[in-house]
């Protein structure tokens, strides 16, 4: 397996209130794997060696990963700021796996039968997101709010072949393709109240709408081969913290969370 990782970052202060930046990363990977496996097969009664299976897994593939992110920071005079982020990413993977299987008699040299297969699994993922955040600070209160839109599109292909006699025969019953698109729009806000030098309350709410569609393309009739969903979720949170400013701090929080890739 060989991998190449290239990264670049640029940042500039345009003037007293405006900062811009651009960073990106490209990752190239190639893989060439060989796995050899021997399996002894015995009869049950009496337990005698009956066959030997020699199987291989020969994997040849490559993947490319690109991610670019740009940001703009605008600092305002009244202890506030606006930050904007625009990101774009691409992941492209191609992998072919050959799996030859040869059954020998107990002597390990006489071939009984062969069963060779190959499958190609390709994946392409495109994603981009836009995020804008506003922050404002007062004497004992701080506010952060914003929105984010993210779209992910994936195309996945799985082609299965019978590879006996060194001839690839496509098997449509074990092959399919799957496309998936997901759009997530979220709005969020968070308030932090400093009650005293030691006590702080934090509260927030995130509203998230998800619009998705998954489509399966297959010669085999299956249920739910085209599924669309559209739903809205709410993620509230509240927290109480105590800090004695010396050597102890305590936090109590309650919230609903979600983790996305």
pLDDT of amino acid 78: 79
Which of the 8 DSSP states describes residue 46? S
Q: Is 197 left (phi over 0), alpha (psi -120 to 50) or beta?
A: alpha
Residue 244: band (very low, low, confident or very high) from pLDDT cuts 50, 70, 90:
confident
Residues 6+ apart with CB under 8 A from 213: 180, 181, 226, 227, 228, 229
pLDDT of amino acid 261: 55
Query: Which phi and psi (to 5°) does residue 163 adopt?
Result: -115, 30
Query: Which phi and psi (to 5°) does residue 166 adopt?
Result: 60, 25
- Whether 260 shows a pLDDT value over 70: the answer reads no
Residue 10: band (very low, low, confident or very high) from pLDDT cuts 50, 70, 90:
very high
- Whether 161 shows a pLDDT value over 90: the answer reads yes
Q: Residue 61's closest CA among 142, 132, 118?
A: 118
- Whether 125 shows a pLDDT value over 80: the answer reads yes
pLDDT of amino acid 206: 95
Q: What is the pTM of this model?
A: 0.80
Query: Which phi and psi (to 5°) does residue 215 adopt?
Result: -125, 125
CA distance 114 to 35: 17
Q: Residue 128's closest CA among 73, 183, 82?
A: 183
First to last CA, the chain: 25
More confident residue, 45 or 65: 65
Tell me the mean pLDDT in the region 63-86: 94
Residue 6: band (very low, low, confident or very high) from pLDDT cuts 50, 70, 90:
very high
Is the peptide bond prior to 81 cis by the omega test (within 30 degrees of 0)? no
């Amino acid at each position: 397996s060989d991998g190449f990782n290239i990264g670049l970052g640029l940042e500039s202060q345009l003037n007293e209130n405006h900062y811009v930046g651009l960073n990106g990363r490209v990752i190239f990977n190639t893989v060439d794997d060989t796995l050899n496996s021997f399996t002894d097969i015995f009869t049950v009664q009496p337990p005698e060696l009956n066959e030997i299976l020699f199987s291989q897994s020969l994997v040849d593939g490559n993947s490319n990963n690109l991610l670019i992110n740009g940001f703009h920071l605008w600092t305002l005079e009244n202890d506030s700021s606006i930050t904007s982020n625009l990101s774009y990413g691409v992941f492209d993977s191609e992998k072919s796996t050959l799996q030859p299987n040869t059954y020998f008699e107990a002597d390990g040299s006489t071939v009984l039968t062969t069963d060779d297969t190959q499958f190609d699994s390709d994946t392409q993922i495109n994603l981009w997101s836009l995020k804008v955040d506003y922050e404002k600070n007062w004497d004992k209160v701080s506010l952060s709010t914003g929105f984010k839109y993210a779209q992910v599109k994936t195309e996945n292909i799985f082609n299965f072949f019978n590879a006996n006699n060194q001839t690839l025969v496509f098997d449509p019953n074990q092959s399919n393709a799957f496309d998936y698109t997901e759009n997530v729009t979220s709005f969020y806000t968070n308030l932090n109240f400093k009650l005293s030098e030691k006590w702080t309350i934090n509260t927030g709410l995130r509203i998230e709408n998800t619009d998705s569609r998954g489509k399966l393309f297959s010669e085999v009739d299956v249920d739910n081969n085209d599924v669309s969903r559209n739903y809205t979720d709410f993620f509230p949170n509240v927290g109480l913290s105590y800090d004695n400013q010396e050597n102890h701090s305590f936090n109590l929080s309650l919230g609903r969370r979600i983790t996305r890739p």
